[in-house]
């Protein structure tokens, strides 16, 4: 969770309560340390939030304080809502839950007319046809991507041949019926695409990938453009 999202979640947690709440309770709810919670309280107070209390006594948000509305155009609200609905329908359970939470937070800081578009969007997403196989491996895959670490895969190709690979994961690509992991493969010494539903095991390694993910993505995109360009 980013710091901005955490501060918003903290504000919502305080707004729900009429009586002072212990810092330890708030820290546990946000999944942070007490020290981080105290820093976040101080940051909100510095931004004008009328929060009473102190360490050991608990905190309460005085009535009347609201965050300034998030000003997005109608089209921007529609785009964000449609994207979150797509994730909720087509992605795995972890991302679907995150998309639902993101929409709730957006609606909480929008003017009423924009919030209504989130509650009753004009654009909807049809039910997805993806099988969901391999979704259990997405957590370690995402952790390896975000941490720029190597990933050990047990993989089954289209012909049923099994192999063990060590890859440098870069991104997960969403197609209509499948998810594709884009990675640099140490075995093939080349970029390779792995269907997530054919991954049998996925384990994040402690070693960092030798090259930054951003540079790898740029090189992969260039290679894909060159591959698709018609030959003269």
| Cα distance between residue 151 and residue 52, in whole Å | 47
pLDDT for residue 130: 75
pLDDT > 90 in the chain, percent:
53
Position 11 scores a pLDDT of 84
What are the φ and ψ backbone dihedral angles of 214, each rounded to 5 degrees? -60, -40
What's residue 232's pLDDT?
A: 56
Residues 6+ apart with CB under 8 A from 71: 111
Q: Where are the domains positioned within the chain?
A: 3-61, 74-119, 135-228
CB 144 within 8 A of CB 205: yes
Model confidence at 197, pLDDT cuts 50, 70, 90, reads: very high
**pLDDT the model gives residue 170:** 97
Q: Is the pLDDT of residue 217 over 80?
A: yes
* Mean pLDDT value across residues 70-89: 88
| Chain centre to alpha carbon of residue 31 | 16
Rounded to whole angstroms, the Cα distance separating 107 from 101 reads 10
Q: Phi and psi dihedrals of 137, rounded to 5?
A: -90, -5
Is the per-residue pLDDT at 64 higher than 80?
Answer: no
- What is residue 127's predicted lDDT score, i.e. its pLDDT? 81
Top mean-pLDDT range of 17-31, 68-82, 99-113: 17-31
CA dist 200 and 134 (Å) reads: 8
Closest by CA position to 14, among listed 56, 68, 61: 61
Phi and psi, residue 41, nearest 5°: -60, -45
Q: Any idea which architecture 3-61 has in CATH? A: Orthogonal Bundle (1.10)
Binning pLDDT at 50, 70 and 90, where does residue 84 land? very high
Question: What pLDDT does 68 receive?
Answer: 59
Q: What share of the chain is helix, strand, coil (3-state, %, to 5)?
A: 45, 25, 30
User: pLDDT of 3-17, one tens digit each?
Assistant: 777 888 888 888 888
Is residue 171 scored above 70 in pLDDT?
yes
More confident residue, 72 or 42: 42
Candidates 38, 47, 57, 44; CA nearest to 11 is 44
How many residues would you count in the chain? 232
Written out in words, the top-level CATH class of the domain with range 135-228 is mainly beta
């Amino acid at each position: 969770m980013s710091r901005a999202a955490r501060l918003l979640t903290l504000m919502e947690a305080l707004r729900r309560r009429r009586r002072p709440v212990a810092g330890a309770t708030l820290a546990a709810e946000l999944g942070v340390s007490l020290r981080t919670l105290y820093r976040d309280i101080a940051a909100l107070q510095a931004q004008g939030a009328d929060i009473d209390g102190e360490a050991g006594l608990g905190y309460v948000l005085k009535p009347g304080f609201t965050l300034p509305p998030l000003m997005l155009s109608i089209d921007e609200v529609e785009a964000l809502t449609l994207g979150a609905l797509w994730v909720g329908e087509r992605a795995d359970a972890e991302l679907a839950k995150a998309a639902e939470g993101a929409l709730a937070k957006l609606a909480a800081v929008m003017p009423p007319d924009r919030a209504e578009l989130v509650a009753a969007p004009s654009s909807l997403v049809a039910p997805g046809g993806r099988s969901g196989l391999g979704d259990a491996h997405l957590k370690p895959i995402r952790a390896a991507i975000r941490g720029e670490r190597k990933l050990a895969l047990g993989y089954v190709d289209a012909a049923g041949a099994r192999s063990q690979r060590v890859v440098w994961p870069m991104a997960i690509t969403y197609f209509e019926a499948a998810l594709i992991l884009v990675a640099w493969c140490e075995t093939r010494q080349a970029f390779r695409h792995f269907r997530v539903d054919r991954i049998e095991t996925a384990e994040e390694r402690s070693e960092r990938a030798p090259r930054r993910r951003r540079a790898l993505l740029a090189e992969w995109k260039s290679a894909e453009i060159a591959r698709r360009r018609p030959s003269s």
